[in-house]
Copies of this chain bind each other. A is one copy, B any other.
């Protein structure tokens, strides 16, 4: 960062990374909101269309990720160390991928019902990705906004703990219910992927924390 600071006079275009990161964070947030809608959907026939919208976000995210990595290769001065930008991009991408996979499993497996725990987990994903979006929006002014960013990071961590508790109760309930084995297989895998999504959102939080510690 010190070297970056010294050289920043030569760097008129380092700022292009912030809009790209913000766009990726917005894709996270839209995906999270769509997840919540999908898992609270009363009408089963709406699910494939919501999945398609999530899949479209994921594809859009892949494109922007590609642009970010290309820019990292072509730009001499970056606002944070190269590896921090690529790590942040990767972890947001991973979160979107996992949400996409969870939604896809609902479409593929067609479970008879979606238990309450899946709805609660998807709601947590919506809240967590909204926090990511807010935190990334403040990165371009990190030194001034570091307190606000830290607050978002703490909230992301709290949401992950909430997700853990919902996942635990949901899994225990599932195995104690007298549901058919085939339905159990479907729902276990969907719940596990939702929990993984919550973990990955928390990985974004951890990555943001590293950035805040390093540069604020």
Contacts and interface: CB of A to CB of B under 8 A. Distances in A.
Contact of A108 (B73, B109, B110, B172): B172
Contacts of A182: 175, 181, 184
Interface residues of A, number: 21
Contact of A171 (B73, B108, B213, B214): B108
Interface in A171-216: 171-172, 175-176, 180-182, 184-186, 188, 210, 213-214
B110 A175 contact: yes
A34 to B, nearest CB: 19
Nearest to A176: B110
A164 B171 CA distance: 28
A172 to B, nearest CB: 6
A69 B188 CA distance: 35
A185 B181 CA distance: 9
A151 to B, nearest CB: 20
A13 interface: no
A82 to B, nearest CB: 11
A71 interface: no
Interface of A: 69-70, 73, 108-110, 168, 171-172, 175-176, 180-182, 184-186, 188, 210, 213-214
